[in-house]
Amino acid sequence: MFKTLIFFFIVFLLQFSSRAFAQNANATYSVYITEYRMDGGGCWEGNKEEATFYVFLRDNVNTVETTSGCRTHEENEPFTWNFDDFLLSTRTNASDYFILRMYGWEDDNGDRCDLDGGDDCDCHHRDNINVSYRVDVLPSNGTFTSSGWNWCSGSDGWAFAYKYTWKYTGIASSITPTCTVQEITHNSGGIRSNSVYLTAGIQYRFETTAGPDTYLRLYEPNGYTIAAFNDDGGTGTLSLIDYTPTTTGTYYIENSKYSRNPLDLNSTLAYSIVPSTPASSINVTTALICSGSSTTLSVVGGSLNNGAVWKWYSGSCGGTYVGTGSSLNVSPSTTTTYYVRAEGGCNTTTCVSTTITVDQAPTVPTSITVSSGGNAICPGDSRTLTASGGSTGTSCSYQWYAGVCDSGIVLGTENSISVNPSNTTTYYVRRVGTSTCTNTTTCANTTITLNTESTPPASINADVHP
């Protein structure tokens, strides 16, 4: 029974550790030994001290130790040995911290690199130094954080100093935003991170929806440059980043407690591709046009994402397709309502609409109607002439002329006039648009013939024949 409990406890620890590591994007960190010091500790000799020491490194993911190897130095103490930046180890994994330990002694007997009987002043406690590198400093491109002296407990004559740098790298602990909002729980106890592949030109959203007072940072593919950050852009003290990358690649999203501390509560990170939003209105070059003219419609507000496009329709939303793009030139023949919406990518938005009113142009009269009595008149008589046929369009006036079209005095501007010519006369009429349509048509015409009256004889001549 006891062995069974031990087994399940070990399984639990492994699962917990696995979940923790899965919440860290990989990091590459490098640790250098910079200096070593021997200062007293009961090791006073008349000659030089034969110092021997090792420094070991492991981390909470890779527990196999890397060693500095046997390092030796001979000098009268106290002395400080500058290593000129000795690279202890470079590792890439999902660890939260690395662990350093030191082991040193003053060699008096046997192999210089082994602790033998007769050797003394050893740093026998081999202290572990835990360095939470992800929490202590931001990632960087080779900016180092240096330590002070780290003294060995039980032998205050031994100490070493180190420096380190780190940055995000690789594709471990990846998340993939889609059109559907997804969530991941970041457990308390550390600064959590994920790698995420982002495509240039697409807008993404990262939002904490639960947890403490969070702070989000998004790092560029180089693993250290902050592309975007946010403190309280979400609900309350939660965070929200909307980001559109200009470069395609693997980015890194980091979730911490404000401003950059380990989470002390579990936090939920939601992530997705941002949907397109509907236009707020349509801008129109002119909403009232003459038939045969054109106007330009342009989208106002709204946003496209993930390959979506603006699509235009007439008649109804989704009705007759008329074009694609943020603006559209149209030339309707009759009054028409146009609709636009975003389509494609993650969603189809609602429509906004506008109506283009179309005025109709007048057309030439096909004839002139003459009032009863016909086109022949006697002196002193009159006739009413009326423009007939064709179309008046939306609105128009008339121009009447005598003798020739478009010349001389305008005899009238209504569709009918009364004439009383003193001689045979040809009359002309045309229409002139008075709405947005301002065209002038050609003329129709008719001729009024003036008949000559008969006159009485002045006398009677007789011609007598015998």
- Model confidence at 45, pLDDT cuts 50, 70, 90, reads low
State the pLDDT at residue 379.
93
State the pLDDT at residue 154.
62
pLDDT in tens, 390-444: 999 999 999 999 999 998 999 999 999 999 999 999 999 999 999 999 999 999 9
State the pLDDT at residue 125.
59
The answer on pLDDT for 377 being more than 80 is yes
pLDDT in tens, 101-132: 998 888 888 999 998 888 888 786 567 899 99
Q: Using a cut of 0.95, tell me whether the model's pTM lies above it.
A: no
State the pLDDT at residue 5.
40
The answer on pLDDT for 252 being more than 50 is yes
State the pLDDT at residue 42.
57
Query: Looking at the domain 174-273, which fold is it?
Result: Jelly Rolls (2.60.120)
Torsion 103-109-111-112 (CA) sign: positive
Q: Give me the mean pLDDT over the 186-190 stretch.
A: 97
Phi–psi pair at 135, nearest 5 degrees: -85, -40
Q: Give me the mean pLDDT over the 177-187 stretch.
A: 98
Mean pLDDT check: name the lowest of 6-15, 222-231, 232-241, 314-323: 6-15
Mean pLDDT check: name the lowest of 100-109, 363-372, 379-388: 100-109
> Is residue 189 within 8 Å of 212, Cβ to Cβ?
no
Which residues in 13-50 are b (16+ Cβ under 10 Å) and which e? eeeeeeebbebbbbbbbbbbbbbbbbeebebeeeeebb
Within 10 A of 452 (CB to CB), how many other CB atoms are there? 7
Query: In one letter, which amino acid is 149?
Result: W
Enumerate the CATH 2.60.120.380 domain ranges in the chain, comma separated: 174-273
Q: How buried is 408 (Cβ within 10 angstroms: 0-12 exposed, 13-18 middle, 19+ buried)?
A: exposed
State the pLDDT at residue 12.
36
d(CA 418, CA 396): 20
Q: Is 21-167 a domain of CATH 3.40.50.1980?
A: no
Mean pLDDT check: name the lowest of 72-76, 155-159, 224-228: 155-159
The answer on pLDDT for 13 being more than 50 is no
Give the whole-number percent of the chain exceeding pLDDT 70.
Answer: 91
State the pLDDT at residue 466.
66
Within 10 A of 217 (CB to CB), how many other CB atoms are there? 23
d(CA 327, CA 297): 5
> Is residue 361 within 8 Å of 433, Cβ to Cβ?
yes
d(CA 253, CA 461): 130
The answer on pLDDT for 11 being more than 50 is no
String of DSSP letters for 139-171: --SS--EE---EEPTT-TTEEEEEEEEEEE-SS
State the pLDDT at residue 38.
86
Within 10 A of 111 (CB to CB), how many other CB atoms are there? 11
Cα torsion through 305, 311, 315, 318, rounded to 10? -60
The answer on pLDDT for 156 being more than 60 is no
145-146 and 158-168 beta bridge pairing: antiparallel
The answer on pLDDT for 335 being more than 90 is yes
Mean pLDDT of the chain: 92
What 8-state DSSP symbol labels residue 440?
Answer: B
Sheet containing 249-257: order of strands:
174-175, 192-198, 249-257, 214-219, 226-230
Enumerate the CATH 2.60.40.10 domain ranges in the chain, comma separated: 281-359
d(CA 136, CA 62): 20
Q: Is 367-450 a domain of CATH 2.60.40?
A: yes
pLDDT in tens, 63-96: 999 999 999 999 887 889 998 899 999 999 999 9
The answer on pLDDT for 15 being more than 50 is no
State the pLDDT at residue 22.
66
The architecture that CATH gives domain 281-359 is Sandwich (2.60)
Mean pLDDT check: name the lowest of 80-89, 132-141, 225-234, 279-288: 80-89
